[in-house]
Amino acid sequence: MGIKLQPKYCACGCGGFCKGKWIPGHDQRLRAAIENEVGGLVELRRIVEERLHRSIEFDQTDTRKHWYSN
């Protein structure tokens, strides 16, 4: 007999139920709504870095080809 998961409210605030933290795709809906509210991803990064008092670092060694690569 397996463990039965209790449904939880989606973390985006939509009022829907899910097994985990998000209804599929709702994490991206929330991210997009936050970006739109503050004026885009660059502005969101600035706000978060200001609040954290540090830069947000990410891996810049991605070797996948991009559309602008030669």
Q: List, for residues 11-25, the tens digit of each pLDDT value.
A: 999 999 999 999 999
Alpha-carbon span 27 to 2, nearest angstrom: 28
The whole domain housing 40 covers: 21-55
Task: For residue 64, tell me if it sits in a domain.
Answer: no
User: Do residues 38 and 47 lie in contact, with contact meaning Cβ atoms separated by under 8 Å?
Assistant: yes
Alpha-carbon span 40 to 46, nearest angstrom: 10
Task: For residue 29, tell me if it sits in a domain.
Answer: yes
Task: For residue 11, tell me if it sits in a domain.
Answer: no
Total count of domains within the chain: 1
Task: For residue 12, tell me if it sits in a domain.
Answer: no
pTM for this one? 0.70
Task: For residue 13, tell me if it sits in a domain.
Answer: no
Mean per-residue pLDDT, 43-52: 97
